Amino acid sequence: MWGKVTIKDIANKCGVSTATVSRAINNNGYIASDLKQQILDTCNEMGYIPNSTARSLKVNSTGIIGYITSDISNQYHITVAKAIEDTVQADDYNLIVCSTRNNPQSEKKYLKSLVGRNIDALVINTTCGNDEFIISISQKIPTVLVNRRLNTPGFHGDFADCNNIMGTYLLTKELLRYSHKRIYILEGSYEFSNARERFEGFCLAMKEGGINVDHNYEYRFEGDFTEESGFNGVVHMINHFNQKPTAILCTNNAMLIGALKALHKYHISIPEQISIVGFNGIDNLELMNIRPTVANFDPYQIGSAAGKFLLERIQNLNIENREAIFDPTLINGNATSFPRIF
Spatial CB neighbours of 38, under 8 Å, sequence gap ≥ 6:
14
User: Do the domain assignments include residue 224?
Assistant: yes
Which of 55-69, 169-183, 237-251, 318-332 is least confident? 55-69
Mean pLDDT over residues 42-64, rounded? 66
Say how many domains are in the chain.
2
User: Do the domain assignments include residue 260?
Assistant: yes
Spatial CB neighbours of 159, under 8 Å, sequence gap ≥ 6:
144, 145, 146, 149, 321, 322, 323, 324
User: Do the domain assignments include residue 154?
Assistant: no
CB atoms within 10 A of CB 31: 18
Mean pLDDT over residues 261-272, rounded? 96
Mean pLDDT over residues 227-244, rounded? 95
User: Is the per-residue pLDDT at 182 higher than 70?
Assistant: yes
For the chain, what is the mean pLDDT? 89
Q: Which residue, of 297, 313, 332, is where some domain finishes?
A: 297
User: Do the domain assignments include residue 236?
Assistant: yes
The CATH code of the domain that includes 201 is 3.40.50.2300
Record the pTM: 0.80
Question: What does the alpha-carbon distance between residue 213 and residue 3 come to, in Å, rounded to a whole number?
Answer: 58
Domain that holds residue 9: 1-49
Annotate the chain with three-state secondary structure. CCCCCCHHHHHHHHCCCHHHHHHHHHCCCCCCHHHHHHHHHHHHHHCCCCHHHHHCCCCCCCCEEEEEECCCCCHHHHHHHHHHHHHHHCCCCEEEEEECCCCHHHHHHHHHHHHHCCCCEEEEECCCCCHHHHHHHHCCCCEEEECCCCCCCCCCCEEEEECHHHHHHHHHHHHHHCCCCCEEEEECCCCCHHHHHHHHHHHHHHHHCCCCCCCCCCCEEECCCCHHHHHHHHHHHHHCCCCCCCEEEECCHHHHHHHHHHHHHCCCCCCCCCEEEEECCCCCHHHCCCCCEEEECCHHHHHHHHHHHHHHHHHCCCCCCCEEEECCEEECCCCCCCCCCC
User: Do the domain assignments include residue 303?
Assistant: no
State residue 2's pLDDT score. 36
Question: What does the alpha-carbon distance between residue 87 and residue 95 come to, in Å, rounded to a whole number?
Answer: 10
- pLDDT > 70: percent of the chain: 91
Question: What is the pLDDT confidence band of residue 144, given thresholds at 50, 70 and 90?
Answer: very high
User: Is the per-residue pLDDT at 186 higher than 90?
Assistant: yes
User: Do the domain assignments include residue 64?
Assistant: no
Question: Rounded to 5 degrees, what are φ and ψ at 328?
Answer: -80, 160
State residue 20's pLDDT score. 86
CB atoms within 10 A of CB 327: 11
Mean pLDDT over residues 207-211, rounded? 96
The CATH code of the domain that includes 34 is 1.10.260.40
166, 121, 125: which is closest to 147 by C-alpha? Answer: 125
State residue 342's pLDDT score. 53
Q: Which residue, of 297, 317, 332, is where some domain finishes?
A: 297
User: Do the domain assignments include residue 69?
Assistant: no
Residue 323 or 341, more confident: 323
User: Do the domain assignments include residue 226?
Assistant: yes
